[in-house]
Amino acid sequence: MRPGEQKYPHIFSPIKIGKFTCKNRIKYASTEDNFNCENGFVTNREVAYMEAQARGGAAIVTTQGAYTDPKGEGKGYVGMMGIWDDKFIPGLKKIADVIKANNAIAMLQLMHCGRVGGVELDYTVGPSVVPQKLPRFRPPQEMSKEKIKETIREHIDGARRAVEAGFQMIEVSGIVGYLVSNFISSYTNKRTDEYGGDIRGRCRFMVEILEGIRKEVGPDIALGIRLVTDELLHDRGGNKPEESVETMKIAEACGIDFLSITAGWQESAVSVISRDVPMGNWLYLAERVKKNVKVPVTMAYRLFIPEFPEKAIAEGNLDMWEMCRPMMSDPALPNKIAEDRQEDIVPCMACNICLARLFRDVPVTCMVNPWIGHEREEGFGYYGFDKVASPKKVLIAGAGVAGMQAAYVAAKKGHDVTLMEKSNDVGGQLRIASCGPFGDDEFMRLVNHLKAQVDKSGAKVQFGKEVTAADINAMKPDYVIVATGAANKKPNIPGAEKIVDGYDVMEGKVAVGKKVVLLGDMGVAMSIAQHLVVKGGHEITIVGVAKKFGTDINPSYVWRVRKKLKEGNVQEVSRSVPVAVTDAGVVVKTPEGEVTIPADTVVAAKPESNRQLVDALEKSGIKYRFIGDAYKPRRGSNAVNEGFRAALEIDA
């Protein structure tokens, strides 16, 4: 028995789902990735991604959702795989085969995206015409009874094809505003026929799908469904909690073998899966369901570390730990936990760049996993790097996440790496960001992970050492990677000496008065403002040249940040620049003229790249590359991914 299996005995105990005995209690959850062809055919890229998930150690590996109709009304993502015709079976079989070849159980998910579908159409379909709350989606059309029956048949036919492709388990998606959930919810189902009315009528669509699939595939195929335990649509007439529980009971009566439960819709006006939701937050919903059903219950959503599911399973409040984003970040997460190597797990930051990419109709990327979508590609080294034939002497300036990522990858490839950091700590701006509220302390999980990898890689680390031209001339490296980040530069205006650094504000290094003016218009300024709102006792104004502030913040977070700032009565002065700082405050040039904004504390909150080494590197003739914020101030995803690619390019 491996050490992690002893440490987490409930997670690594077997469980029976239908007629299948699962080797542990970990299920890789379905997630879209846009890796497939736009016509629905499976690509080799998708197969390679699923292979990585299967090799990672989960007992059950679920495909992304497959849309079931030829018109594409159920298609919510451009790279979503199809299952509406037998022609898709060979591609689907490749996925089933690669999952089973790696000692995991192959599960396929059937998904009709309903009111958030029709990605290539100018309409969506649903039980009733209820206007969309999210502007990116298309207007819905009401389904006729004939259309409903046709859609049910398409799900059943999809299940047959899944079995023919070799899948052992089938899951129907009924979450986040997809079609099954549209019928179940009182928010979107206003029908008065047998497919509407009370909760049993609204569940009829689900029932006919589940019963039809069970009859089609027989008892040897495990069948389950993903359902919403709390829609979080109380502000617009969504289901009551007791109605959601009744939905679970109705599904169980259809002969399912497991339930996968979630919370919230895409249209919910509260946080569900972002970092401001504490880990383990939704486990009370699993406990509620477990009291009402007998089939095994699986759950995802903010269960990123094993302590939470281990305790929940031990207490009988959960049966399986389900993950999508944490295993997108690191498919090998189950094996690393089993081996008690948690410092080696690439930790999900719940940044939701994956979702942002999906909603922009492009393949997903990951803030922390540069390998995603490249698992089989030569040179990316997902399954281990070959040592380079001619190791280079590499100097890396800066031990933020970009520099650390570059250092450990370059060292693993066999290069002689020296990493210099002017401070006495690692992490750079992500360490500073971890001082923020609403779960931002989780950023230290990534900082600590990268530090552990650097330590194990053999790279030499020097603290308290800022790289200078003299260092470059003395070391004579073959390659220099500049990851010196960015600094909040004070504007060159009268009174600039009164301005304090926004990073010092975040770290509590300076006293902040009651009236605060932040100079900056992007995510850094808004994050500092949010930090001060939570601390309380401040009157805050943000001044910036942009027309709209915070455009660099992920869409999954920007609306939450704006909400917090509005609640904190933060004022925004846009299309404006500071021209002086006086004892009275900040003199600001606005489109309407100059005004003075009262301020006890003026904060520089707009980073500019640290590029002091450019001249020295140009004169040296040494190959070099600027990465992360040293190239241009952006987000953590850019830093990690550029650090990775810079390391690959050393020997190119």
Residues carrying an active site annotation: 178
Cα separations in angstroms, 187 against 132, 201, 268: 11, 14, 11
Q: How far apart are CA 516 and CA 267, in angstroms?
A: 34
Sheet of 460-463, strand order: 460-463, 416-421, 393-397, 479-482, 623-626
β-bridge pairing 577-582 and 585-590: antiparallel
Instruction: Please check whether residue 432 is in contact with residue 443, taking contact to mean a CB–CB distance below 8 angstroms.
Output: no
Helix axes 401-412, 443-457, angle to 10 degrees: 30
Q: What is the DSSP string of 357-412?
A: HHTTTS----SS-TTTT-TTSTTS-TT-PPPPSS--EEEEE--BHHHHHHHHHHHH
Name the residue with tokens 């389950």. 224
Q: What are phi and psi of 569, to 5 degrees?
A: 60, 35
Cα separations in angstroms, 519 against 435, 487, 550: 20, 13, 13
Identity of residue 252 = E
Instruction: Note the residue count of the chain.
Output: 652
Q: How far apart are CA 168 and CA 191, in angstroms?
A: 35
Q: Which residues contact 91 (CB under 8 A, 6 or more apart)?
A: 41, 42, 81
Instruction: Please check whether residue 499 is in contact with residue 517, taking contact to mean a CB–CB distance below 8 angstroms.
Output: no
Q: How far apart are CA 473 and CA 514, in angstroms?
A: 48
CA atoms within 13 A on the CB side of 122: 0
Residue 544 CB-density burial (10 A; 0-12 exposed, 13-18 middle, 19+ buried): buried
Q: How far is Cα of residue 86 from the mean position of the Cα atoms in its chain?
A: 33
Instruction: Please check whether residue 541 is in contact with residue 516, taking contact to mean a CB–CB distance below 8 angstroms.
Output: yes
Q: How far is Cα of residue 356 from the mean position of the Cα atoms in its chain?
A: 9
Residue 486 CB-density burial (10 A; 0-12 exposed, 13-18 middle, 19+ buried): buried
Instruction: Please check whether residue 444 is in contact with residue 431, taking contact to mean a CB–CB distance below 8 angstroms.
Output: yes
Q: Which two tokens stand for residue 77?
A: 């993502």
Identity of residue 460 = K
> Where does 413-520 have alpha helices with state H?
428-433, 443-457, 469-475, 502-506
The H or E element spanning position 564 is helix 555-567
Identity of residue 123 = Y
